[in-house]
Chain A
Amino acid sequence: MPVLSPAILVSAVLNGLLTGAVYALVALGLTLIYGVLHIINFAHGALLSAALFAAFFAFRLLGIDPYVAIFLLTPLFFAFGYALQRFIIGPASHRDDRNMLLVTLGIAVIIENALLYAFRADTRTIDVPYAFETINFGFTFLAVPRVVGFAAVFVVALALWLIMNCSDIGRAIRAVGKERLGAELAGIDVAHVYAMTFGLGTACVAVAACLLIPNYYVNPSVGNAFVLVAFTIVVLGGMGSVLGALIGALLIGVVESLSGLFLGESLGQIGIFVIFIAVLLVRPNGLFGARA
Chain B
Amino acid sequence: MSDQKFPFSRRQFLTTTAVGAAAAATGSVVMPSVLRAQGAPVKLGVLHPVTGALSYSGQQGRLGATLAIEEINAAGGIKGLGKIEAVLGDAQSTPEGGTAEVEKMNSAGVACIVGGYASNICLATTQAAARYELPYVVDVGVADGIVTRGLKNTFRFGPGFGVIAKTALANLAAINDQAGKPAKTVMIVHEDSLFGSGLAKLLNAQLPQQGFQILETIPHPTPTRDFNNVVLKIKAQNPDIVIPANYYNEYVLLARTMRQQQIKLKGIYSVLGGAASSYKFVKEFPEAAKFIMDCNHWFDPRSDKAQALKKNVEGKGQFFTYEVYMNYSCVYLIADALQRAASADRAKLTAALASSTFSGHVMPYGPTKFVNGQNEGAAPVNTQVLDNDIKVILPPSFANAKPVFPMPA
Contact = CB atoms under 8 A, between A and B. Distances in A.
A225 interface: yes
B10 interface: no
A125 B285 CA distance: 10
Interface string A197-226: 000000000000000000111010110111
Interface string B213-253: 00010111101111011101101110000000000110011
Contact of A125 (B53, B236, B237, B284): B284
B297 to A, nearest CB: 19
Interface of B: 51, 53, 55-56, 58-59, 192, 216, 218-221, 223-226, 228-230, 232-233, 235-237, 248-249, 252-253, 256, 259-262, 280, 284-285, 287
Nearest 6 CB-CB pairings of A with B: A121-B55, A265-B220, A121-B56, A15-B228, A266-B192, A225-B223
Interface in A220-241: 221-222, 224-226
26 contacts: A8-B232, A8-B233, A11-B228, A11-B232, A12-B229, A15-B226, A15-B228, A18-B228, A113-B51, A116-B55, A120-B56, A121-B58, A123-B248, A123-B249, A123-B252, A127-B284, A134-B260, A134-B262, A140-B261, A221-B53, A224-B223, A260-B229, A264-B219, A265-B192, A265-B218, A265-B230
Given A8-B232, A266-B220, A217 B252 contact: yes
A140 B261 CA distance: 7
A15 B285 contact: no
A265 B221 contact: yes
Contact of B236 (A3, A113, A219, A265): A3
B209 to A, nearest CB: 23
Interface residues of A, number: 41
Nearest to B221: A266
B218 A269 contact: no
A2 B59 contact: no
Q: Is the interface of B mostly helix, strand, loop or mixed?
A: helix
Q: Which of B230, B236, B248, B253 has the most CB of A within 10 A?
A: B236
Contacts of A101: none
B236 A257 contact: no
Interface in A230-271: 257, 260-261, 264-266, 269
A175 B135 CA distance: 66
A270 B216 CA distance: 21
Contacts, number: 94
Contact of A141 (B226, B229, B262): B262
Contacts of B223: 222, 224-225
A130 to B, nearest CB: 12
B219 A225 contact: no
A3 B226 contact: no
Contacts of A31: none
A130 B102 CA distance: 49
A166 interface: no
A120 B59 contact: yes
B285 A127 contact: yes
Nearest to B275: A123
A264 B253 CA distance: 17
Contacts of A120: 55-56, 59
Contact of B225 (A19, A121, A134, A219): A19
B339 to A, nearest CB: 35
Interface string A67-97: 0000000000000000000000000000000
Nearest to A23: B225
Contacts of A7: 236
A134 B249 CA distance: 21
A190 interface: no
B225 A3 contact: no
A253 B56 CA distance: 30
Contacts of A2: 236-237
A57 interface: no
A1 B218 CA distance: 11
Given A2-B237, A225-B223, A265-B221, A125 B229 contact: no
A8 B230 CA distance: 11
A122 interface: yes
A261 B237 CA distance: 14
Interface string A129-167: 001101000001101000000000000000000000000
B229 A143 contact: no
B284 A15 contact: no
A141 B56 contact: no
Given A1-B216, A143-B260, A265 B229 contact: yes
